[in-house]
Amino acid sequence: MSKIVNQAPAAIAAATLPAAAAHAAWELNMPVGVTELSREIHGLHMLILWVCVLIAVAVFGMLIYSIVKFRHSKGAVAANFDHSTKAEVIWTLIPIAILVGLATPAAETLIKIEDTRDSDLTVKVTGYQWKWHYDYLDQDVSFFSTLERRSDAARQLGSGIDPRSVENYLLEVDNRMVVPVGAKVRVLLTAADVIHSWWVPEFGMKKDAIPGFINELWFRADEVGVYRGQCAELCGRDHAFMPVVVEVKSQAEYAAWLESRRAETQTTALAAAQ
Amino acid sequence: MSTAHTSAGRLEAHHDYHGPQKGWRRWVFATNHKDIGTMYLLFSLTMFFVGGVMALIVRAELFQPGLQLVDPMFFNSMTTMHALVMIFGAVMPAFVGLANWMLPLQVGAPDMALPRMNNFSFWILPFAFTLLLSTLFVPGGGPAGGWTMYPPLVLQTGDAFPMMIFAIHLMGASSIMGAINVIVTIMNMRAPGMSLLKMPLFTWTWLITAYLLIAVMPVLAGAVTMLLTDHFFGTTFFEAAGGGDPVMYQHIFWFFGHPEVYIMILPAFGIVSEIIPTFSRKPLFGYDAMVYATAAIAFLSFIVWAHHMFTVGMPLAGQMFFMLATMLISVPTGVKVFNWTATMFKGSISFEPPMLFALSFLFLFTIGGFSGLMLAIVPADFQYHDTYFVVAHFHYVLVPGAVFAIMAAVYYWLPKWTGHMYDMKLAKWHFWLSTIFVNVLFFPQHFLGLAGMPRRIPDYNTQFADWNMVSSIGAFGFGLSQLLFAYIVFRTIRGGAKATDKVWDGGAPHGLEWTLSSPPPYHSFETAPEVK
């Protein structure tokens, strides 16, 4: 967005804004993301968007032309035609051709999305009211992931804490899901109480976690970093307060993290047993 | 002089026992299609403001990040109730009210075919909504699981749960009776010579809508009854532990829900198809194609339901099928938009308030259609699903779509109903304020959704703050502008310049309703007109 658009609200917000937000304000579009799938999805999104824009230019152009040109007040005299088979056949067939053009790449991407074979790592994710549980299958690592404390304090009704003073407000957790960069991660999704939905926009993937059933999705993150998302299915009072945070680390750092986590999980299990 | 006095006076002259009853009896025992239509429309207007206040509570909380005003639970019950009230209380009754007023006038009949059932179907509604709205005051608060009532979440509702379900049963019964009445009237009471393909498009679209209603309202009743027995009688239709499936509920609900979407837009198509030719002074382009396109949309509405639930984990073949079927809907819908455009092409267009709203409908509904096409693309839907992008989409088709069409209809036929012209200047103010604010309100929600803001959340990360503030400003502007609408309507009921029989003498209104006086006689067409 241009500076002009940015300045007016900036002036309004100046009184209440102690620090610049980490994320871009006035964001207009979907993130490109950091996986092959998210990039393809973004490409599809832009393709349909431009197709819609072109159709809009044609249709709205015709409408505006008619509104301007055929005004009663300018003395326009109405013609009397009320159909044209040729025109009607054309504007039935052209949209069908456009749809085929859109459906083909969409189907190709969809087939890739559904192909969960040959994964390097499987994590079972369980939705609870209102937190996530991550279980690294066959790794003896599992933990809960809940809203980080500063966000939790600030989000209480009448807390008096300015959300802008909290870094990654509502998008930070105590224990992040950690995965290695470049690995095909298969996520098995289920829920313990009601339906939740696990979503990280930068991975392009969202799927429902349904009690009693297992869903699956996969992603392969190409870049190291922290990626944030939220529960995307209304799940009760604190639906807005169970973020999904995934940290993508290098292979070595991931291995070290897994080791320390495993030790921690065992200690917790021992403590629980005693 | 009021409408009541005019028609009452005229009727007392010959047979007084056929005139409207005096005082409250006229309304409680109403069997006249116009009286019942009026009650439907006033009920709808009331619910429009009730649902609107709920929306403003939602937008006030979302004005800035952090929780300032309401508890998240109350916020959830506001989003839930806003949807239920607007869908079942504002939009659907408005269309039934318009059908009651206009169908007998358009087909040349004295009244609706089943006047006592007509009375019953209206009078169920105030009770249904009293029941629904009173849930806000029971232990556990109002329903807060979303208007889609997905289990298992909806089973956590407090005492409001059975009340909500019985309210929905009542609304469904009311809708089915209204639909039966529409079908019987259209099928049996058309004037001699009015073959099906000579019917006005508003009548046509309502006929198709009525069949949709009869087909799907029982499905909704079935779905919510299964919720009821799951909750109180130990069945496990939707619980995996007992062999059920929560996703099955979603399939059943959306088998109702998708045709329901068209129930709220097909009569709007009919209204726009009446208004655009009148003020373009040119016959509707492609009448037959318009009828067939409506029927095609109605048919397709039954085979696309699962596009509301692409993220539940369907087999690849299922996702492909629902993607392609959904994309197909844009073909008949496109035909409609092109035909309206072709109707205006080489016409002689003037811009009275009904035409302004119809034009706004044409532009903004089409934008909603575009975002609908985008949502059909399954991989992209994985990003869009359950975000504000979806909220923007369905509000574009429902507010500047259905609601603007209803307002266009009111501005088009109000002089016919009351015998008075309204204040054109004020109506144009109402139009411009509504059109500007509706875009300020809903357009930024596309950006919010794409940037990653989920729907149905009372609080959000600060990156979403700016567009939310813009959207909330639009919401208050839009809400306040509607007070002007109520003012214009009530002032016109009470008086105003006399409207002629044809009302739009400068335009080219077409149809039997314009051959009657304004307001029309109490029994509309006492002798059937001849249609050539």
Identify the pLDDT of residue B24. 92
Torsion angle of alpha carbons A101, A105, A106, A111, nearest 10°?
140
In whole angstroms, what is the distance from residue B358 CA to residue B285 CA? 16
Which residues of chain B have a pLDDT value below 70? 1-18
Contact assessment for residue A196 and residue A208, using Cβ atoms and an 8 Å cutoff: yes
Give yes or no for residue A107 having a pLDDT over 90: yes
Contacts of B187 (CB under 8 A, 6+ apart): none
Cβ contact (<8 Å) for B283 and A212? Answer: no
Answer whether B103's CB lies under 8 Å from B185's CB.
yes
For residue B367, the number of C-alpha atoms closer than 13 Å in the C-beta half-sphere is 20
- Of all residues in chain B, the one with the smallest CA distance to A30 is B450
SS3 content of chain B, % helix, strand, coil (to 5): 75, 0, 25
B324 and A96: CB-CB below 8 Å? no
How far, in Å, are A190, A259, B91, B135 from residue B130 at the CA level? 38, 60, 17, 9
Distance from CA of B460 to the nearest CA of A (A): 7
- Segment A195-210 shows an average pLDDT of 96
pLDDT at res. B1: 38
For residue A82, the model assigns a pLDDT of 87
CA–CA distance, B472 with B440 (Å, rounded to integer): 9
Q: What is the C-alpha separation between B112 and B100, in angstroms, rounded? A: 7
Q: At what angle do helices B266-280 and B353-376 cross, to 10 degrees?
A: 140
Strand pairing class (A225-229; A215-219): unpaired
Put simply, the answer to whether B463 touches A25 (Cβ < 8 Å) is: yes
B79/chain A closest Cα distance in angstroms:
11
Q: Which of B18, B6, B36, B359 is nearest to B178 (CA)?
A: B36
**Which of B67, B323, B452 lies nearest to residue A155, judging by beta carbons?**
B67
B519: preceding bond cis by omega (within 30 degrees): yes
> CB-based contact (8 Å) between B456 and chain A?
yes
For residue B17, what pLDDT is reported?
Answer: 53
pLDDT digits (tens, 9 = 90+) for B322-373: 999 999 999 999 999 999 999 999 999 999 999 999 999 999 999 999 999 9
Q: How high is the pLDDT of residue A266?
A: 81
Backbone angles phi, psi at A200, to 5 degrees: -125, 105
Q: Quote the pLDDT of residue A17.
A: 40
State which residue of chain B sits closest to A205, comparing Cα positions.
Answer: B382
- Reading the block at residue A201, the tokens are 């926009």
Residue corresponding to tokens 């006095």? B5
Chain A residues with beta carbon closer than 8 angstroms to that of B377: 44-45, 48, 102, 106
Q: Which of B150, B286, B363 sits opposite A60 (nearest CB)?
A: B363
Disruptive mutation site among B197, B311, B333 for chain A (greatest number of A CBs within 10 Å) = B311
A246 reaches B (C-beta below 8 A): no
B425 φψ region: left (φ > 0), alpha (ψ -120 to 50), beta (else): alpha
Mean pLDDT of A2-29: 51
Global ipTM: 0.91
For chain B, the first-to-last Cα distance in angstroms comes to 36
At residue B18, the pLDDT reads 64
**Residue B11 pLDDT:** 46
- Report which residue type is found at B458: P
Cβ–Cβ of A207/B311 closer than 8 Å?
Answer: yes
Q: Which residues pair with A249 in a beta bridge?
A: A180
Pseudo-torsion of CA A41, A46, A51, A56, nearest 10°?
130
What was the pLDDT predicted at A147? Answer: 97
Q: Token digits for B354?
A: 């009904």
- A246 min Cα distance to partner chain B (Å): 15
Instruction: Tell me how many degrees the CA angle A211-A214-A220 measures, rounded to the nearest 5.
Output: 125
- % of chain A residues with pLDDT over 90: 81
Is the CB of B283 inside 8 Å of chain A's CB atoms? yes
